[in-house]
Structure 1
Amino acid sequence: MKKSFIMTTVASAAVVAAALGTVATTGAQAASSADAKGVERAISAARAHGSAFGLDADQGLSARSVATDKDGTTHVRFDRTFRGLPVVGGDLVVHTDASGAWKGVNAASSSVRVGSTSPAVAATTAATTAAATADFTVRTSSPTLAVYAYGTPRLVWKTQVDGVGAHREPAGKVVFVDARTGAVVDAWATELNDAGTGNSLYLGTVTIQTTLSGGSYQMVDATRGNARTEDGNNGSTSSTSGTLFTDADNVWGNNSNSNRQTAAVDANFGVGATWDFYKNTFGRNGIKNDGVGARSLVHVGSNWVNASWSDSCFCMRYGDGDGVSYGPLVSLDVAGHEMTHGVTSATANLAYRRESGGLNESTSDVMGTMVEFTANTTGDPGDYLIGERFSLKTPAKPLRYMDQPSKDGASANCWSKTVGSLDVHYSSGVGNHAFYLLSEGSGAKTINGVSYNSPTCNGSTVTGIGHDAAAAIWYRALTTYWTSSTTYAGARAGMLSAAADLYGAGSPQYNATAAAWSAVSVN
């Protein structure tokens, strides 16, 4: 994301990652690779120390990912089951040394035990209850039995509700219905929507990767996991698939909304820039680190001022805006933001609720911003503004300001006990502010022609370490220490552990991380 450093002693994020020598595998790789031994050791260590975080004989562990540092330290992320049922909020990361000895654990919950796994409420009743909570047109409501472990553990019907919103955009939420009482325990969105910036409509002529097939060019990027870009056709369905863009001469769009290919060029370029950022900076091979590209659907819905990521279709969807205040949302930081939701889902899986939901949104803003900086385009140079590029207002009005989040009229500059009750797009201000301060420091400055003036919540003066180092610390914490229930206090602790791993405890980078979080009232 950013290329300059305030402290000349800071290495780039890519150099730091290489120095640490972390190797990661995911999914089936974790079970079939040489890391299987690391998983076995981690399970053994976890069983031996299970009393510390409520692990007992009724619980199973399933490895989601494995990462091994150069010194042999292994970090295995597990999902838990209880008597065969999946546990929502039961994830944990077990850390062992080169010999397999216990080094510690980060657990989302300390207790997952429920008295009974037999429901008293029928699945059909739960489906109806969950559907009634939706503020969109419901198409399906599908319950499965699970244990909900955020707070007091409960047997629940985990119910996925999908449908269509007011602008014909895809809509969805997961609703947890107590399987004993029928009460709604919790719920959060599963169609992760957010607005961003703009590319090819906004960047001029760019190079994109396409594939020649049967005498016609397809908007399929074979260099990045066969990522596809499709026309959502402004349909009223949930748009899980569209019409693949094709072209006879491999010249796409006309820099104008009059050609539907133009928005597709923007999305295609943004996905490629995000893929390259993760690969070149952190060695991550795609969203799930398995080399598989996602699909992008442009022209989704009607006058939809939003964009979204969906785990279920492994795709991004982009609205065309309302044509009055906002144009199409096919921009660099939007692509980076939405793809990062996928990365977060594949790693810490931060629950889209309360403080963990704000941290989820903030992570997407942080990495979307970093995509802008690393892409280094002339049409959309890196900045700490979210959504300024597709604004049709004069002067352009960003959706969010990382240096002083409250400037949008709703976001939080500082942590307080009530932050978790805000919409996650506004509670994200705490994390965004911390990242800006860690990167650039407090006070007034101008970067790439944009003026910033970041305050602190405790009156302190913070000196930044550069955005590359800040992003390296953030990513390490996301992939190694954070879990689905991580709060802002947990985010600070995880980033301090990450800073110690990367730069050493007591280093300038470590101290700056502590100072940045203190400056937003997270102590």
Structure 2
Amino acid sequence: MNIPVYAATAVMMALSLNPTHVRVPAYGYHNGTVLIDITLERAYHSLVDPLRPGISCSTHYPTPLKMPFDVPIGSGRPWGRNSVTACGDLMYGVQRMWDMLRDWLGRDGIDGVGGGVPARVEWNPPAPVPPPVVDFVFRRDADNFPTSLDLVGHEYGHVVYRTTPGGAGEDNESHGLNEGAADIFGTLTEWYANNTVDRPDYVIGESLELPSGLPLRHTYDPSLDGHPGCYSDQIPDAEAPAASGPLRHWFYLLAEGSHPGGGNPASPICAGGPAAVSGIGIQKAGKIFMGALNHKTHSWRYTSARSASLAAAIALYGPLGPECATVQAAWDAVNVPSQPDDPSCAPPHPGT
């Protein structure tokens, strides 16, 4: 990446008393060298995004991190296990997520009304603070901060979920849908960014570098994480990460299909499902899922998500195209049953 040379301009700008938008390099642990939008305030870079209201990063909340304008933001690898580097990674990730929501899903900001939520990076579990704030706590098992693209997208995905109708939900099944939605938004963020260091995939948290050498979760096959990929009557009693399995699995099948090729892994189909599912692409899958969330209720269930996503597919692409049929087939493939009032993908009868 070519980093613009602006040192002389920055010196002149630093003399100004008025905060100014600048786009500067951040030397990330997870993302490599990237550009982030921050504020130049006197002689300091303040990690406040002037283009995306509400987005900032702090190491001592609520004060945003400030760096002398001539000090690099982050130290990259292998020295990047520090809070400044984590803030650089975080700002890059949430800015890419914001842009993805706008460009791919038609959403205005993280909260849907043009706003965001500040983040804080912590070495130890933080003391509670009045919401909203998104916390990123150092992972001692991984020896770094969870500020990769997919994990930033995941944590801010919870904000998207709770700021769509119905809020965060009230029981294990709706909490599982919340957790699965966060993984979907993390995946969408990673694919939108298309970063050459953290290349897009369908696993979550692989760049944490856990001692096991495995990612935190596999979207295409939740059984690899010990989580169910098929819906059953056990889901309502499962903990949120396990209860999220069928939703993550459905999204992969919708986006990529059961045998996508092109370097993406095959995905199993649950017993009684269709022989195969052909994906429609991640952007269309994301638009349909976002459309479904816009009709979420407080007591959402998997069957509710099925009905809402079918309605979203029809609203976006019509009842006759492959999008609606694939939404239906992907739910069948993870054993979420149809409901009598599900929108129909079937063509209308002649003369109607």
| Distance in 2, Cα, partners of 1:508 & 1:282 | 19
Aligned to 1:364: 182
**Partner of residue 14, structure 1:** none
Q: 1:301 to 1:311 in 2, by over 3 A?
A: closer
Aligned residue in 2 for 1:297: 120
CA distance in 2, matches of 1:422, 1:446: 34
CA distance in 2, matches of 1:335, 1:511: 32
Tell me which of 13, 23, 28 is aligned to 1:200. 28
CA shift digits 1:293-347 (9 cap, x unpaired): 3211112415x9xxxxx9942221111111x445210111111111121111111
Structure 1, unaligned stretches of length 5 or more?
1-198, 233-239, 305-309
Aligned to 2:22: none
Offset of residue 412 of structure 1: 1.1
Do the aligned partners of residues 259 and 387 (structure 1) sit closer, same or farther apart at CA in structure 2, a change above 3 Å counting?
Answer: closer
Q: Does 1:501 align with 2:315?
A: yes
**CA deviation digits over 1:502-521, x for unaligned, max 9?**
11113211011000000000
Please give the alpha-carbon distance, in whole angstroms, between the structure 2 residues aligned to 1:287 and 1:300. 25
Amino acid in structure 1 at the alignment position of 2:98: W
**Which residue among 117, 131, 134 is the counterpart of 1:316?**
134
Q: Whole-Å Cα distance in 2 between the matches of residues 301 and 407 of structure 1?
A: 30
Is the CA contact 1:415–1:522 (under 8 Å) kept in the aligned structure 2? yes
Task: Within 5 Å, give how 1:20-99 maps onto structure 2.
Answer: none
Please list the CA deviations of residues 124-159 of structure 1 after superposition, one character each: whole Å capped at 9, or x if unmatched: xxxxxxxxxxxxxxxxxxxxxxxxxxxxxxxxxxxx
- Whole-Å separation in 2 of the counterparts to 1:243 and 1:471: 32
Verify the 8 A CA contact 2:56 2:64 in the aligned structure 1.
Answer: no
User: What is the distance in 2 between the residues matched to 1:444 and 1:293?
Assistant: 35
For each residue in 1:238-284, what CA deviation from the matched residue of structure 2 results, as whole angstroms up to 9, or x when unmatched? Answer: xx635523223162111123653111101111111111111122332
- More helix, by proportion: 2
1:434 shift after superposition? 0.4
From 274, 285, 302, the counterpart of 2:108: 285
The reply on whether 1:432 has 2:248 as its aligned counterpart is yes
Number of the residue aligned with 1:515:
329
Partner AA of 2:228 in structure 1 = A
Change (3 A) 1:226 1:522: closer
SS at structure 2 position matched to 1:212: strand
Cα distance, 1:381 vs structure 2: 1.4
Say whether the 8 Å CA contact 1:414–1:520 is kept in structure 2.
Answer: yes
Provide the secondary structure at the position in 2 that maps to 1:206: strand
- Alpha-carbon distance between aligned partners in 2 of 1:250 and 1:223, rounded to the nearest angstrom: 22
What amino acid sits opposite 2:152 in the alignment?
A
SS in 2 for 1:224: coil
Residues 364-402 of structure 1 deviation map (CA, whole Å, 9 limit, x = unaligned): 1111100000001001111110111112436x3011111
CA distance in structure 1 between the partners assigned to 2:231 and 2:301 by the alignment: 11
Q: Percent identity?
A: 34
Q: Which amino acid aligns with 1:445?
A: G
Match of 2:224 in 1: 407
Call closer, same or farther: CA 1:311–1:336 in 2, change over 3 Å.
Answer: farther
Residue 345, structure 1, aligned to residue 162, structure 2: yes
How many residues get paired? 305
> What does 1:370-519 correspond to in 2, within 5 Å?
370-393=188-211, 396-409=213-226, 411-443=227-259, 445-447=261-263, 452-457=265-270, 458-460=272-274, 461-479=276-294, 481-519=295-333
Paired residues of 2:229 and 2:249 also in contact (CA < 8 A): yes
CA distance in 2, matches of 1:288, 1:419: 28
Does the 8 Å CA contact 2:28/2:80 hold for their aligned counterparts?
no
The question of whether the paired residues in 2 share the 8 Å contact of 1:444 and 1:453 is answered with yes
Instruction: Tell me the secondary structure at the aligned position of residue 232 of structure 2.
Output: coil
Q: Is the 8 A contact 1:465 1:512 kept in 2?
A: yes
The 1:444–1:228 alpha-carbon spacing in structure 2 relative to 1, beyond 3 Å, is closer
**How far has the Cα of 1:226 moved from its partner?**
4.8
Structure 1: which 4+ aligned runs deviate by more than 4 Å? none
Letter in 2 for 1:517: W
Call closer, same or farther: CA 1:521–1:299 in 2, change over 3 Å.
same
Question: What's the counterpart of residue 260 of structure 1?
Answer: 83
User: What residue is the counterpart of 1:38 in the other structure?
Assistant: none
Q: Distance in 2 between matches of 1:404 and 1:515?
A: 17
User: Which structure features the higher share of strand residues?
Assistant: 1
The answer to whether the 8 A contact 1:350-1:483 is kept is no
Q: CA deviation at 1:288?
A: 2.0
**Aligned partners of 2:201, 2:75: CA distance in 1, in Å?**
26
Task: Name the CA shift for 1:502/1:317 in 2 (closer, same or farther; >3 Å).
Answer: same
1:210 aligns with 2:38: yes
**Residue in structure 2 matched with residue 246 of structure 1 by the alignment:** 67
User: Shift of the alpha carbon at 1:223?
Assistant: 1.1
Aligned to 1:80: none
| Alpha-carbon distance in structure 2 between the residues aligned to 1:283 and 1:438 | 19
Whether the aligned pair in 1 keeps the contact of 2:31 and 2:148 (CA below 8 Å) is no
> What is the DSSP-based 3-state SS (H/G/I as helix, E as strand, rest coil) of the residue aligned with 2:75?
coil
- Gap change, CA 1:243 and 1:512, over 3 Å in 2: closer
Q: Secondary structure at the match of 1:379?
A: coil
For 1:373 and 1:403, locate their aligned partners in 2 and report how far apart those are by CA, in whole Å: 15
C-alpha distance in 1 between matches for 2:34 and 2:221: 32
- Residue type of the alignment partner of 1:297: R
- Structure 2 runs not aligned, ≥5 long: 1-26, 338-352
Structural mapping, 1:123-142, within 5 Å = none
Conserved? CA contact 2:122–2:137, under 8 Å: yes
